[in-house]
Structure 1
Amino acid sequence: MTVGEGEAAAGSTGRQRIRWRPRARTNPAAIARWLSRSFETDIEAGCGFLWLPVALSLGIWAYFAAPLEPPQWLAPAVALIAAFVAFVVRRAPVVFVLAAAVSSVALGAAMAQWEVARSAAPVLARERTVAVEGYVLRAEPREAGRVRFVVAVTSFGEGGERRPPPARVMVTAAAARAPVGAGEGVRFLARLQPPRGPDLPGGYDPARSLYLQGIGASGFVLGAVEPVSLPPPASRAMAWRLKAAETLDDVRTAIAVRIRAALPGPAGEIAVALLVGERGGIPREIEDDMRTSGLTHVLSISGLHMTLVAGTLIVALRAMLAAIPGLALRFPIKRWAAAAALPATAAYLALSGGDLATQRSFVMIAVALLAVIVERPAITLRSVAVGALVVLLIQPSAVLNPGFQMSFAAVIALVAAFGWWQRRRRTPDDDDDAVPVSRFRRITRALLLGAAALAVTSVIAGIASGPIAAYHFHRAAPLGLVANLIAMPAVSVVVMPMGVAAFALMPFGLEALPLTLMGFGIDFMTAVATRVAAWTGSAGDVGRLPFWTVMFMVAALLWGAIAEGAWRVLALVPLGLAVAAFLLFRPPDVLVTADGRAAALRQADGRLAIVAGRDGRRAVETWLSADGDVRLPRDPSLAGAARCDPLGCVIVATPPGAAEAVSLSLAASPAAVPDDCRHATILVAPVTVAREDCASPRFVIDRSFLARTGAVTLTFPDGDLTVPPVVEAALPGGERPWTRHLRP
C-alpha cells in the first residue's frame, strides 16, 4: 500500500514501518511527508517512552557541563511550563513531543541539581596534617598491600576551626597498620588535602566525584590506624548503617578467608574479586594483562556477573522443579525460579560490596526478573529504559560515570540487535517441513551457533562501548574479540556457576570442590589474557577520542537502536559527523597543570616534551595516556627538548604545522620571571606576573590565570602562532558547588 511518497509495511511485531522507495521523488515536500509519517509511526509504536531516559540524561549532562550554577528554581519552572504546554497541545503530535522533550531535559537538570544540593558537605580549605577520629563507612583493599578508608568524622584536629571540618574523609594506609573494618571507630594522623580538579580539561574530575559522595578531603595516614571506642552516632539511621556495614564486612571477610584457604594464589584472589568484590590482592601484572586483552570487565562485578548468577540459579531451580512432574505440569516453575533468583541476586549484590556499578547492574537484572515474573518480555528496549530510569531517579550523576555509559551502550546495542534478529528469524511454521537431522549434526550446529553468537555479541558490545572506553581510559582492546571468544565460555560455564555452587555449599563446609573447579577456569582465563596481551603489545594505547566524536557516535547508536522503520538510516548523519569531528580534531599544543608547576609543548613529530617536578607525575601520566604515548613519566626523552636550571626550565620546539619554533618557559621561582619575560614565547609561572612588565611573551599563564582556569591547554589553529590560541580550561567559567574551594 502507498503512504505519501513511501510505503508502509507491517512487521512481524505488528508495528507499522515506513520504508523509503528508491524510485520516489526526493523533493523537499516528499522528504518532509516521509519524515512526518515516520515520526508518527514511531510515536504510535511507543518509541517516545524509550527517549525519556535519553532526554533526562541530556538534562543531567547539561547541568553538570554548565559554566555557571543556575538558579534552583529555573529547571523545575521550565519543566512544569513545558509539561503544561505538552498537555495543552497533546493532540498535535509534533508540538507535544517537542514540549515533552523540553520538559524531560529540564527535569533531568532539576534532578541533578537536587542531587548536588543534598550531597553538599564542608570541604577542607587547604592541605594540612591533622588528627582524625570517626567511624569507617567503607574499607577497600588496594594494590601493594594498602587499604583505602572512607571515614565519617567525629573529631577533627584541635577543634575551634574557623570553617566546619569535612564530614567525611578518604584516606589510604598500609593494610598491616590498619587492622579495622567497616563500622568500627578509628583514630589516626593523616596528611589531607582538598579534592583536586581535573588534570586535563574534559577529563576525570575528582573534586566533583568526591563532592557527590560527601567527601571533603583525601590523603594518606601517617603511622598506624588505631581502633577506638566511640560514642554511638546521634542519628539512628547512621547507627543502623554502621551496624549493617560492620556485619556485612565480617561476613565478606569470612568468605574471603574460606576462598583463599581452598584456592591459594592469584586464582584465589581473582575468585575473591568475583565473589565478594575485593580486587586489592590481584597481582598488578595480571590486571594489566586483563586490561590489555579486553578481559578486564570480568574482574569488576557488573551486569555480566549478575546475569550469570541469576541465570545459574534459574537454570538450577527450574531443573530441580522440572524433576517433579506434578509441579512442572501444573505450576509456572519459570516464574517461581525467577522469583527465587531475585532475592538471591540481591544477596550477591550485598556480598560483592554493593558499589555503584554493581547497584546499576542489579537494577537492570531486577527489572528483567520482574518482567519474567509478570510474564512480560525481559529482553526489550523498554526494559532497558525502565532500568535506566530507576538508576537515574536514584542517582542522576550516574550519567557521568564511564561504567554507566559503557554498560548501557552495550546493552542497548545488544538488545536492538537481538530484536532485529528475532524479527527476521524463521517462524515456527517454517520448521514443519524441515528435513530430520542426526543428533550429532544438531549438537554441532548448536555449538557453532553458540560460538557465532558469542563472537557477534563481543563485536557488538565492543563497537558500542569502545569509543566511550577510549574517551575515558584512552585505551582499546584490538584483540578483545579473540580473548573474549576463547575465555568467556569458561567464565560462563565454569567460573561463575562454580562460584554460585561454592556460595551454596559454604555453610556446610563443602566449598572446596567447586572452588577448585572455579580455579581451573580462572587459570585458563588468565592464561588467555597473558597470551593475547603479549600479541597486543602497545597497540591498545589509542589516546583519548575527541569529545564530539564520542557524542555523535552515541547519538548514532541511540537513533539506530530506537528509531523504527526506514528513517533509522538517518543514524548515518551523526555517524558522519563523528568521523568529521575525528578528522578535524587537533590535539593541544601546550598543556599546563593547575598549580603551574608542570607544562608540556608538542614537538614537530607530534610527541610531547614535558617538564614536571615530582608532584606533577600524576598529571604527566594523564597527559601521556590521553596522547596515546606509551612512555613512562620518568622516561628521559620526555625532557629531551628542555633546558633546566635551579630557576626553571625552557622547552624550545616547533609544534606541528608551525612555521617557527616556540619557546615555553616554566619559571620555578619568581627570580626567573624577569629573564623569561624577555625571551619566552609562552611563560608559565606559579606567581602572579604584571603584564605591563612582561610584554614580550605572546601568552602568559600565571597564578591569577590558573586560578580562573585550573589545568589549561592551548591549541594553535593549523599551527599558526600569529592568531590567538584556542584555550580550554578544566574549571568552568563560573563558580560551581564542587569548585568553590579551588578558587582563591
Structure 2
Amino acid sequence: MATRNAHLVPIGAEPESGDVAVQRTWRSAVRLSSVAARMERFLGGSGFDRGPWLTVAFAGGIALWFWLGNPWQWGVAIAISVLVALGASASARPFNAFPELRKAAAALGLLVSFGICVIWLRSELVGAEAIERPEVRSIVAKVLEREEQPGEDRVRLVLAFQDAESGQAHKVRVNVPISKDDPAAQEEAVIRLRVRLMPPAPPMLPGGYDFARTAWFGGLSATGSLIGELEIAEPAMQSAGLAKVQRDLAAHVRARIDGSPGTIAAAFASGDRGAITDRDEEAMRDSGLTHLLSVSGLHVSAVIAAAYLLALKLLALWVWLTLRVRLPLVAAAVGATAGIGYTLLTGAEVPTVRSCVGALLVLAALALGREALSMRMVAAAAFFVLLLWPESLVGPSFQMSFAAVLSIVALHNSVWVKSFLAPREERWIATIARRGTMLLVTGLVIEVALMPIVLFHFHRAGVYGAFANVIAIPLVTFVSMPLIALALLLDIVGAGGPLWWLAGKSLELLLGIAHWTAVQPGAVKLMPEMGVGLFAMYVAGGLWMAMWRGGTRLFGLVPWLVATPLFLLAPIPDVLVSGDGRHVGIVGEGDRLLVLRESRSDYAKDNLLEMAGQEGEPVSLSDWPGAECTRDFCSLTIERGGRPWHLLLSRTRDRVAERELAAACDLSDIVVSDRYLPRSCRPRWLKADRSLLDRTGGLSIDLKNERFKTVAAGQGEHGWWRGGRDEPPPRRRQ
C-alpha cells in the first residue's frame, strides 16, 4: 500500500522509507518529462527546416570516426547511436507524448551510426598500406595520371606497379624534372624508371598537415622522385581522354596569354594550376583570393548560369518552341549539360563535384518553380559528396566550400536582407549602392565564417580578404571568365585575339589586386595551433547560426564567444620538435624563431613558423649569441615559468664519446636528437631521441606547464598512422 499510495502522502507529513524512494523517482521523472516537454515545444515551434540536420548528423558520425582512436570505440559509438534510435522509436511513458523529440532522436541516432559505418567501410576499401621504409628501386609501371607543373619545373606522375617479390600492387606518386620528362609518358603508357620512394609523411608537428591520411584515402603507398632517365616501355594508345584534352586546353590558353595572367586563365579554363608561380600563389593566398584558383562553386555556377541564361534568351526567339515547351526546363537541361562537361573537363575534383551537384539542384528548383537557394539544397549536395567521399569532411576544401555557401544562403534568406534587397522605386544609383553594400556585407560574413577553418588548417588569418573579394569576384565572374569563354569560341574561326587581350588585362588587374593586398601591413597574421575542441565549438556555433531562424540563431554566438578568448589566451609552445628530430624551433627568445638547422626545405620552415605563430626569417642557433654550438651539439638556457631550462640539441650523427654525452645529458632538462641515444643519456625531464619520436611523432612543448603535445595523440589506430601511442610527460628531476 505504501508504494501504491505514495502520491497521497500529506504535505508536511513524514513518509515511510519506501515512500521516499518512490517519491524521488517520481519527481525525477517529472523533471525529465518537463525538460522533454520544453524541447518538444521548442522543436515544434521553431519553424526551421529540419532536413539539413540529418546531413549534419551524418557528418557528425564521420567526424566521430576520425576523432575516436580504435575499432572498439567505433563499435561502441555505433551501438550507442543505434540504441538511442531504437529507444526513441519505442520509448515508453512519459516520453511517448513527445513525437517531435522522438523523431529527432531516432533520425539523428541512425544517421550518426550510418556516418561511422560509411567512413569505416571507405577506409577499409581504399586505404593503401605505406611501404615500410625509404627505398631506391627500379620499376616498370603503368601511368595512371599525369600532371604537368611548369611552375615547379616538374611533371608529377601517378604510377601503378607490382612488386616482383611479394606480388603486391602499389600506387605511387613520382616527381619527374621537366628536363628528364618524356611527353610520351601519358596515361595508359608503360614506363621503366629508377625511383627513390618514401612512405607518405605524417604531420611534421601536432596540428600540421597530415599527408599520410590524404595518401591513405588516395590509395598511395609511397611518393618519390626520379633517379636517372625515364624510358617508355609501351606507348599509350592514342585516345582523346579528358586528361589530355585538359592539358591541351591549358597549353592553348597559356599560348594565347603570356606570363602570369596566362597561368591564371589556364586555371579558370581547365583547372590546371601547375604553371602558376609560387609568388602568385602566395599573393592570392595572403590576399584571400586563392579560392578563385580552385575550380569550385564560383566557376561552375558562372558556367551553368551563363549557359542557362543564354539558352533561355536564344530559345525565346523561337516562337514555335516557346508556345509548346516550357523554356526553363530546356534551359535547365542546357545549363546542366554545360556544368557536367565543365566539371569533367577540370578534373572532377571534390569541390567541383560538390558545386556541380548544388548547381544542378538549383536548376531543378528553377525548372520546377521552387525556391532556388535553400538549406535543403546545400544539405543534399553535402550528403551526396560525403556519401561518395566521406574523408573529404576533414579537409579544408570541403569545409571552406560549404561554409561559404551556408553563409551566403543563411544571410540572403534572412528577413532583413530580403527587405534590404526588395525592389523599390528609387534612382539607379541607389540600387547599385544597395547591391554594392550587400556584396561587401556578404564578403565580410564569408570571411568571418571561413576564419576558424583557415586558422585551424593553415594557422593564418587574413584581414583584407573581404575587401579584395568585393572587386575580384565580380571581375572574375562577369569579365574574365566570359571573355575567356568567348575567346575560346572565336578561336574556332581564328578571331579570338582581341578578347584574349582583354582577358589578359582583366587578369593583370586581378593579380595586381592580389599582390597589392598581400603586401599591406597586417594583411596576414600567423597564429599557433587551434585545438580540435575549439574548432568543434566554432563549427557547432556556425551551424547553429546558419540553420536556425529568428532570434534563436543568436545562441550560436555563445560557442564563438567562449572559444575566441580561449584561443587567443592559449599558451604558445616554447619548443617545437619535428617527427624526425632534425628540425627544432624555439619560441619566445626575441621577435624571431630560433631554429636548429637552416633547412633548404620551405615545408619545414613554414611548418615551424606557422605552429609558432611567428613571421620573418628564422635565426639559426649557431648565429644566436645565447647559444653555444659545436660541430655536434647546440646548448642553450631559456627562462620559462620562473625557472631556467637547459636544452641540448644534436646537430650531427657522428660518434660521440658516451661518457661525455652522459655528462652533458645529466646537466640538461631536455635533449633532442635525430638518432638513438644510449640509456646512459638521462636528462632531467625529456629525452626526445629517435626512440621516443618514432612512437610519438613531432612534439609541441609547453615548458611553463611542463607538458607536451604529440602527433600520435590525434592518430589513434587509424590505418595511415605508423607510429606508437601517445605518452604522458615525465616529471622533471630537480
Residue equivalent to 1:373? 367
TM-fit CA distance, 1:685: 3.0
Does 2:126 match 1:119? yes
Residue equivalent to 2:474? 489
Q: Pick closer, same or farther for the CA change 1:280–1:695 going to 2, 3 Å.
A: closer
For the 8 Å contact 2:662–2:682, the answer to whether it is kept is no
1:705 to 670, 692, 697: 692
Does 2:45 match 1:41? yes
1:134 to 111, 130, 141: 141
Q: Pick closer, same or farther for the CA change 1:364–1:742 going to 2, 3 Å.
A: farther
Q: Please give the residue correspondences for 1:365-444 in structure 2 after superposition, counting only pairs within 5 Å.
A: 365-421=359-415, 424-425=418-419, 441-442=427-428, 444=429
Q: Across the two proteins, how many residue pairs are aligned to each other?
A: 683
Q: Pick closer, same or farther for the CA change 1:559–1:266 going to 2, 3 Å.
A: same
Q: Pick closer, same or farther for the CA change 1:697–1:361 going to 2, 3 Å.
A: same
The one-letter amino acid paired with 2:109 is: V
Give the distance between the partners of 1:105 and 1:639, measured in 2 at CA.
53
2:645 to 645, 662, 672: 662
The one-letter amino acid paired with 2:603 is: R
2:254 to 220, 237, 260: 260
The CA RMSD measured in Å over matched residues stands at 3.1
Residue equivalent to 2:223? 218
Give the distance between the partners of 1:135 and 1:372, measured in 2 at CA.
45
For the 8 Å contact 1:197–1:730, the answer to whether it is kept is no
Does 2:449 match 1:464? yes
2:179 to 164, 176, 180: 176
TM-fit CA distance, 1:710: 0.9
1:182-222 per-residue CA deviation (whole Å, 9 max, x = no partner) reads 33222221111111110111221111110111100001111
Q: Pick closer, same or farther for the CA change 1:146–1:365 going to 2, 3 Å.
A: same
1:219-268 per-residue CA deviation (whole Å, 9 max, x = no partner) reads 111133322217x9xxxxxxxxx998x61122223322332332222222
Does 2:160 match 1:146? no
For the 8 Å contact 1:294–1:477, the answer to whether it is kept is yes
Give the distance between the partners of 1:515 and 1:449, measured in 2 at CA.
33
Q: Pick closer, same or farther for the CA change 1:99–1:134 going to 2, 3 Å.
A: same
Residue equivalent to 2:112? 105
Does 2:486 match 1:501? yes
TM-fit CA distance, 1:513: 3.9
Q: Pick closer, same or farther for the CA change 1:648–1:616 going to 2, 3 Å.
A: farther
Give the distance between the partners of 1:29 and 1:99, measured in 2 at CA.
18
The one-letter amino acid paired with 2:627 is: A
Q: Please give the residue correspondences for 1:215-614 in structure 2 after superposition, counting only pairs within 5 Å.
A: 215-229=220-234, 247-328=241-322, 331-421=325-415, 424-425=418-419, 441-442=427-428, 444-536=429-521, 539-605=524-590, 608-612=593-597, 614=599
For the 8 Å contact 1:151–1:168, the answer to whether it is kept is yes
For the 8 Å contact 1:483–1:528, the answer to whether it is kept is yes
The one-letter amino acid paired with 2:628 is: R
TM-fit CA distance, 1:620: 3.3
Residue equivalent to 2:100? 93
TM-fit CA distance, 1:36: 4.4
Give the distance between the partners of 1:615 and 1:192, measured in 2 at CA.
20
Residue equivalent to 1:17? none
Gaps of 5+ in 1: 1-26, 233-241
Q: Pick closer, same or farther for the CA change 1:147–1:34 going to 2, 3 Å.
A: same
Give the secondary structure class of the aligned counterpart of 2:156: strand
TM-fit CA distance, 1:116: 0.5
For the 8 Å contact 2:143–2:187, the answer to whether it is kept is yes
TM-fit CA distance, 1:479: 1.3
Give the secondary structure class of the aligned counterpart of 2:133: coil
Q: Pick closer, same or farther for the CA change 1:311–1:614 going to 2, 3 Å.
A: same
Gaps of 5+ in 2: 1-30, 726-734
Give the secondary structure class of the aligned counterpart of 1:300: coil
TM-fit CA distance, 1:738: 0.9
For the 8 Å contact 1:68–1:735, the answer to whether it is kept is yes
Give the distance between the partners of 2:76 and 2:558, measured in 1 at CA.
33
TM-fit CA distance, 1:600: 2.6
Residue equivalent to 2:20? none
Q: Pick closer, same or farther for the CA change 1:331–1:425 going to 2, 3 Å.
A: farther
The one-letter amino acid paired with 1:338 is: A
Q: Please give the residue correspondences for 1:623-638 in structure 2 after superposition, counting only pairs within 5 Å.
A: 623-632=608-617
Q: Percent identity between the aligned chains?
A: 29
Residue equivalent to 1:679? 667
Q: Pick closer, same or farther for the CA change 1:248–1:734 going to 2, 3 Å.
A: closer
1:63 to 59, 62, 65: 65
More moved, 170-179 vs 529-538: 529-538
Give the distance between the partners of 1:332 and 1:373, measured in 2 at CA.
9
Q: Pick closer, same or farther for the CA change 1:513–1:633 going to 2, 3 Å.
A: same
Q: Pick closer, same or farther for the CA change 1:512–1:86 going to 2, 3 Å.
A: farther
1:715 to 670, 678, 702: 702
Give the secondary structure class of the aligned counterpart of 2:263: helix
Residue equivalent to 1:14? none
1:405-464 per-residue CA deviation (whole Å, 9 max, x = no partner) reads 111111111101111047852898xx7xx76x6xxx23x233223322321221111111
Q: Pick closer, same or farther for the CA change 1:606–1:113 going to 2, 3 Å.
A: farther
Q: Pick closer, same or farther for the CA change 1:137–1:627 going to 2, 3 Å.
A: same
Q: Pick closer, same or farther for the CA change 1:643–1:96 going to 2, 3 Å.
A: farther
Give the distance between the partners of 2:683 and 2:258, measured in 1 at CA.
65
1:322-376 per-residue CA deviation (whole Å, 9 max, x = no partner) reads 3334544654322321211111111111211222322222222222223223332
Give the secondary structure class of the aligned counterpart of 1:535: coil
Give the distance between the partners of 2:254 and 2:432, measured in 1 at CA.
35
Q: Pick closer, same or farther for the CA change 1:347–1:224 going to 2, 3 Å.
A: farther
For the 8 Å contact 1:599–1:611, the answer to whether it is kept is yes
Give the distance between the partners of 1:276 and 1:549, measured in 2 at CA.
37
1:23-72 per-residue CA deviation (whole Å, 9 max, x = no partner) reads xxxx9999987654222223xx4633211221222221221122224477
Residue equivalent to 2:605? 620
Give the secondary structure class of the aligned counterpart of 1:226: strand
Give 1 or 2 for the bigger CA radius of gyration. 2
The one-letter amino acid paired with 1:296 is: T
The one-letter amino acid paired with 2:197 is: L
Give the structure-2-normalised TM-score: 0.85
Give the secondary structure class of the aligned counterpart of 1:132: strand
TM-fit CA distance, 1:654: 1.9
For the 8 Å contact 2:628–2:635, the answer to whether it is kept is yes
For the 8 Å contact 2:312–2:327, the answer to whether it is kept is yes
TM-fit CA distance, 1:524: 1.6
Give the secondary structure class of the aligned counterpart of 1:727: strand
For the 8 Å contact 1:56–1:107, the answer to whether it is kept is yes
Give the distance between the partners of 1:249 and 1:342, measured in 2 at CA.
21
1:63-114 per-residue CA deviation (whole Å, 9 max, x = no partner) reads 1122224477656555544443343348543244234323322221111111
